[in-house]
Protein backbone atom coordinates (compact mmCIF):
# COMPACT_ATOMS: atom_id res chain seq x y z
CA UNK A 1 0.00 0.00 0.00
CA UNK A 2 2.77 2.41 0.97
CA UNK A 3 4.66 1.63 -2.27
CA UNK A 4 1.52 2.29 -4.34
CA UNK A 5 1.01 5.66 -2.67
CA UNK A 6 4.62 6.58 -3.34
CA UNK A 7 4.23 5.67 -7.01
CA UNK A 8 1.01 7.67 -7.31
CA UNK A 9 2.68 10.70 -5.74
CA UNK A 10 5.78 10.21 -7.92
CA UNK A 11 3.68 10.09 -11.11
CA UNK A 12 1.57 13.11 -10.20
CA UNK A 13 4.63 15.12 -9.28
CA UNK A 14 6.41 14.23 -12.54
CA UNK A 15 3.28 14.96 -14.56
CA UNK A 16 2.90 18.45 -13.08
CA UNK A 17 6.63 19.12 -13.44
CA UNK A 18 6.50 18.06 -17.11
CA UNK A 19 3.48 20.29 -17.78
CA UNK A 20 5.22 23.26 -16.14
CA UNK A 21 8.44 22.73 -18.10
CA UNK A 22 6.50 22.70 -21.37
CA UNK A 23 4.51 25.79 -20.37
CA UNK A 24 7.72 27.70 -19.76
CA UNK A 25 9.35 26.44 -22.96
CA UNK A 26 9.52 28.85 -25.89
CA UNK A 27 7.63 27.74 -29.00
CA UNK A 28 9.78 26.05 -31.65
CA UNK A 29 9.36 25.40 -35.37
CA UNK A 30 9.11 21.89 -36.81
CA UNK A 31 10.41 21.16 -40.31
CA UNK A 32 8.51 18.01 -41.24
CA UNK A 33 9.09 17.53 -44.96
CA UNK A 34 12.07 15.17 -44.57
CA UNK A 35 10.27 12.75 -42.26
CA UNK A 36 9.39 9.37 -43.71
CA UNK A 37 5.87 8.19 -44.27
CA UNK A 38 4.57 5.42 -42.02
CA UNK A 39 6.53 2.16 -41.98
CA UNK A 40 5.02 -1.30 -42.05
CA UNK A 41 6.83 -2.28 -38.87
CA UNK A 42 5.14 -5.64 -38.41
CA UNK A 43 6.34 -6.62 -41.85
CA UNK A 44 9.87 -5.62 -40.84
CA UNK A 45 9.72 -7.48 -37.53
CA UNK A 46 8.54 -10.64 -39.29
CA UNK A 47 11.32 -10.57 -41.89
CA UNK A 48 13.01 -14.00 -41.87
CA UNK A 49 16.21 -12.70 -43.45
CA UNK A 50 16.70 -10.15 -40.68
CA UNK A 51 15.82 -12.73 -38.05
CA UNK A 52 18.55 -15.03 -39.36
CA UNK A 53 21.06 -12.18 -39.07
CA UNK A 54 19.86 -11.37 -35.59
CA UNK A 55 20.17 -14.94 -34.33
CA UNK A 56 23.87 -14.82 -35.21
CA UNK A 57 24.47 -11.40 -33.65
CA UNK A 58 22.33 -12.17 -30.61
CA UNK A 59 25.09 -14.49 -29.39
CA UNK A 60 27.61 -11.64 -29.65
CA UNK A 61 25.29 -9.32 -27.74
CA UNK A 62 24.87 -11.88 -24.96
CA UNK A 63 28.63 -12.43 -24.72
CA UNK A 64 29.05 -8.71 -24.05
CA UNK A 65 27.07 -9.18 -20.81
CA UNK A 66 25.48 -5.75 -20.93
CA UNK A 67 23.01 -5.80 -18.01
CA UNK A 68 19.31 -5.34 -18.65
CA UNK A 69 17.03 -2.94 -16.73
CA UNK A 70 19.92 -0.65 -15.76
CA UNK A 71 18.59 2.51 -17.34
CA UNK A 72 19.45 1.38 -20.87
CA UNK A 73 17.25 0.02 -23.62
CA UNK A 74 15.84 -3.41 -22.75
CA UNK A 75 16.72 -6.51 -24.76
CA UNK A 76 13.45 -6.61 -26.71
CA UNK A 77 13.68 -2.96 -27.73
CA UNK A 78 17.31 -3.46 -28.75
CA UNK A 79 16.12 -6.26 -31.02
CA UNK A 80 13.55 -3.88 -32.57
CA UNK A 81 16.33 -1.36 -33.21
CA UNK A 82 18.40 -4.06 -34.89
CA UNK A 83 15.52 -5.05 -37.19
CA UNK A 84 14.78 -1.45 -38.18
CA UNK A 85 18.41 -0.68 -39.02
CA UNK A 86 18.94 -3.96 -40.86
CA UNK A 87 15.87 -3.29 -42.99
CA UNK A 88 16.24 0.45 -43.65
CA UNK A 89 20.06 0.44 -44.02
CA UNK A 90 20.56 4.11 -43.11
CA UNK A 91 24.10 5.15 -44.03
CA UNK A 92 24.32 7.80 -41.29
CA UNK A 93 22.75 7.11 -37.88
CA UNK A 94 22.50 9.37 -34.84
CA UNK A 95 21.92 8.08 -31.32
CA UNK A 96 21.29 10.60 -28.55
CA UNK A 97 21.98 9.03 -25.16
CA UNK A 98 24.78 6.45 -25.27
CA UNK A 99 24.59 5.51 -21.56
CA UNK A 100 26.26 2.05 -21.15
CA UNK A 101 26.01 1.32 -24.87
CA UNK A 102 23.27 -1.29 -24.77
CA UNK A 103 21.45 0.10 -27.81
CA UNK A 104 24.71 1.27 -29.42
CA UNK A 105 25.98 -2.28 -29.82
CA UNK A 106 22.73 -3.46 -31.45
CA UNK A 107 22.76 -0.49 -33.82
CA UNK A 108 26.39 -1.18 -34.71
CA UNK A 109 25.96 -4.90 -35.35
CA UNK A 110 23.04 -4.16 -37.67
CA UNK A 111 24.89 -1.33 -39.44
CA UNK A 112 27.97 -3.52 -39.85
CA UNK A 113 26.04 -5.66 -42.33
CA UNK A 114 26.07 -2.86 -44.93
CA UNK A 115 28.73 -0.41 -43.69
CA UNK A 116 26.56 2.19 -41.95
CA UNK A 117 28.13 4.81 -39.66
CA UNK A 118 26.89 5.93 -36.23
CA UNK A 119 27.36 9.10 -34.18
CA UNK A 120 26.41 8.48 -30.54
CA UNK A 121 26.12 11.46 -28.21
CA UNK A 122 26.09 11.63 -24.43
CA UNK A 123 26.69 14.43 -21.96
CA UNK A 124 28.98 12.03 -20.05
CA UNK A 125 32.29 10.69 -21.30
CA UNK A 126 30.94 7.15 -21.19
CA UNK A 127 34.31 5.55 -22.01
CA UNK A 128 36.44 7.41 -19.47
CA UNK A 129 38.65 4.87 -17.67
CA UNK A 130 39.03 7.16 -14.68
CA UNK A 131 35.31 7.43 -13.93
CA UNK A 132 34.33 3.92 -15.12
CA UNK A 133 30.79 5.14 -15.71
CA UNK A 134 29.62 1.73 -16.98
CA UNK A 135 30.60 -0.02 -13.74
CA UNK A 136 28.01 2.00 -11.83
CA UNK A 137 25.42 0.05 -13.79
CA UNK A 138 27.17 -3.34 -13.40
CA UNK A 139 28.36 -3.48 -16.99
CA UNK A 140 31.74 -5.18 -17.22
CA UNK A 141 33.05 -3.20 -20.22
CA UNK A 142 32.88 0.34 -21.55
CA UNK A 143 30.72 0.87 -24.65
CA UNK A 144 33.88 1.32 -26.74
CA UNK A 145 35.35 -1.96 -25.47
CA UNK A 146 32.16 -3.88 -26.31
CA UNK A 147 32.22 -2.45 -29.82
CA UNK A 148 35.91 -3.21 -30.26
CA UNK A 149 35.39 -6.81 -29.12
CA UNK A 150 32.78 -7.17 -31.86
CA UNK A 151 34.87 -5.48 -34.57
CA UNK A 152 32.48 -2.52 -34.75
CA UNK A 153 34.63 0.30 -33.34
CA UNK A 154 35.34 1.84 -36.76
CA UNK A 155 31.62 2.35 -37.34
CA UNK A 156 31.14 4.47 -34.21
CA UNK A 157 31.97 8.08 -33.41
CA UNK A 158 31.57 8.77 -29.67
CA UNK A 159 30.71 12.39 -28.94
CA UNK A 160 30.68 13.94 -25.48
CA UNK A 161 28.31 16.90 -25.67
CA UNK A 162 25.04 18.34 -24.47
CA UNK A 163 22.47 16.97 -26.91
CA UNK A 164 20.70 20.31 -27.28
CA UNK A 165 23.90 22.03 -28.44
CA UNK A 166 24.96 19.12 -30.62
CA UNK A 167 21.64 18.92 -32.46
CA UNK A 168 21.54 22.68 -32.92
CA UNK A 169 25.06 22.94 -34.34
CA UNK A 170 25.53 19.65 -36.21
CA UNK A 171 26.55 19.96 -39.85
CA UNK A 172 25.80 16.29 -40.56
CA UNK A 173 22.61 14.98 -42.09
CA UNK A 174 21.19 11.73 -40.71
CA UNK A 175 19.03 8.97 -42.18
CA UNK A 176 17.92 7.60 -38.80
CA UNK A 177 17.78 9.39 -35.43
CA UNK A 178 17.21 7.65 -32.10
CA UNK A 179 16.37 10.08 -29.28
CA UNK A 180 17.06 8.54 -25.87
CA UNK A 181 18.80 11.25 -23.88
CA UNK A 182 17.20 13.68 -21.46
CA UNK A 183 13.52 12.74 -21.08
CA UNK A 184 12.27 16.05 -19.67
CA UNK A 185 9.30 17.29 -21.69
CA UNK A 186 10.86 20.62 -22.67
CA UNK A 187 14.13 18.94 -23.67
CA UNK A 188 12.40 16.35 -25.87
CA UNK A 189 10.31 19.11 -27.47
CA UNK A 190 13.48 21.05 -28.34
CA UNK A 191 15.38 17.93 -29.44
CA UNK A 192 12.66 16.92 -31.90
CA UNK A 193 12.65 20.42 -33.40
CA UNK A 194 16.45 20.44 -33.78
CA UNK A 195 16.58 16.83 -35.02
CA UNK A 196 14.17 17.67 -37.83
CA UNK A 197 16.65 20.26 -39.10
CA UNK A 198 19.43 17.71 -39.57
CA UNK A 199 17.45 15.00 -41.34
CA UNK A 200 18.38 13.63 -44.72
CA UNK A 201 15.49 12.76 -47.03
CA UNK A 202 12.83 10.24 -46.00
CA UNK A 203 13.99 9.67 -42.40
CA UNK A 204 12.35 8.39 -39.23
CA UNK A 205 12.92 9.65 -35.72
CA UNK A 206 12.60 7.00 -33.03
CA UNK A 207 11.71 7.94 -29.45
CA UNK A 208 12.41 5.89 -26.34
CA UNK A 209 10.30 5.95 -23.17
CA UNK A 210 7.16 7.11 -24.94
CA UNK A 211 4.19 6.22 -22.72
CA UNK A 212 1.02 6.54 -24.86
CA UNK A 213 -1.64 8.75 -23.29
CA UNK A 214 0.62 9.05 -20.24
CA UNK A 215 -0.47 5.63 -19.05
CA UNK A 216 1.42 2.88 -17.22
CA UNK A 217 3.14 0.36 -19.50
CA UNK A 218 4.50 -2.05 -16.90
CA UNK A 219 2.51 -2.62 -13.74
CA UNK A 220 5.60 -4.06 -12.07
CA UNK A 221 7.00 -0.53 -11.74
CA UNK A 222 3.81 1.57 -12.01
CA UNK A 223 6.05 4.53 -12.89
CA UNK A 224 5.37 6.72 -15.89
CA UNK A 225 7.80 8.82 -17.93
CA UNK A 226 5.74 11.72 -19.26
CA UNK A 227 8.30 13.82 -21.14
CA UNK A 228 8.31 12.30 -24.64
CA UNK A 229 4.53 11.83 -24.76
CA UNK A 230 3.73 15.36 -23.56
CA UNK A 231 6.33 16.87 -25.89
CA UNK A 232 4.66 15.21 -28.90
CA UNK A 233 1.23 16.30 -27.66
CA UNK A 234 2.36 19.93 -27.59
CA UNK A 235 3.81 19.62 -31.11
CA UNK A 236 0.44 18.30 -32.32
CA UNK A 237 -1.57 20.97 -30.50
CA UNK A 238 0.52 23.64 -32.20
CA UNK A 239 -0.86 22.44 -35.54
CA UNK A 240 2.11 20.45 -36.81
CA UNK A 241 1.07 17.57 -39.06
CA UNK A 242 3.17 14.91 -37.41
CA UNK A 243 2.16 11.38 -36.53
CA UNK A 244 3.41 9.02 -33.86
CA UNK A 245 3.36 5.23 -34.03
CA UNK A 246 4.02 3.54 -30.66
CA UNK A 247 5.52 0.09 -31.27
CA UNK A 248 3.38 -1.14 -28.37
CA UNK A 249 3.39 -4.97 -28.42
CA UNK A 250 6.45 -6.46 -30.14
CA UNK A 251 6.52 -10.05 -31.50
CA UNK A 252 9.03 -10.94 -28.76
CA UNK A 253 9.58 -10.33 -25.05
CA UNK A 254 10.82 -6.99 -23.78
CA UNK A 255 10.83 -6.81 -19.97
CA UNK A 256 8.82 -8.08 -17.00
CA UNK A 257 7.87 -11.04 -19.19
CA UNK A 258 5.77 -8.77 -21.40
CA UNK A 259 5.88 -7.70 -25.04
CA UNK A 260 5.34 -4.03 -24.22
CA UNK A 261 7.65 -1.49 -25.83
CA UNK A 262 8.14 2.20 -25.09
CA UNK A 263 9.61 2.85 -28.53
CA UNK A 264 7.65 5.12 -30.86
CA UNK A 265 8.27 6.25 -34.44
CA UNK A 266 7.64 9.81 -35.59
CA UNK A 267 6.58 10.14 -39.22
CA UNK A 268 4.46 12.36 -41.45
Which of 72, 28, 75, 81 has its CA nearest to residue 206? 81
Q: What is the CATH number of the domain that holds 31?
A: 3.40.50.150
Q: With a cut of 60, say whether residue 1 has pLDDT above it.
A: no
Which run of H or E residues covers position 251? none
Count of domains forming the chain: 1
pLDDT digits (tens, 9 = 90+) for 11-29: 999 999 999 999 999 999 9
Which of 104, 108, 137, 109 has its CA nearest to residue 120? 104
Q: Which domain holds residue 172?
A: 2-267
HSE-CB of 121 using CA atoms within 13 angstroms:
20
The reported pLDDT for the residue numbered 39 is 86
pLDDT digits (tens, 9 = 90+) for 228-263: 999 999 999 999 999 999 999 999 999 999 999 999
Q: With a cut of 80, say whether residue 69 has pLDDT above it.
A: no
pLDDT digits (tens, 9 = 90+) for 193-228: 999 999 999 999 999 999 999 999 998 888 899 999
Amino acid sequence: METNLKNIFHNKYNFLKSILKLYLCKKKTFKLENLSEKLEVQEIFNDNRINENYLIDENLIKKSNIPDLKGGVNEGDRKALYFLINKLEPNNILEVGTHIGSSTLSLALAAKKYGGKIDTVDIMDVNNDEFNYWKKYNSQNSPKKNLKDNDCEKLINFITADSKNFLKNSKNKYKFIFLDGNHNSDQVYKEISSALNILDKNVIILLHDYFPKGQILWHETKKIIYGPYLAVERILKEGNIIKVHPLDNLPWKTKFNSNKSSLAILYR
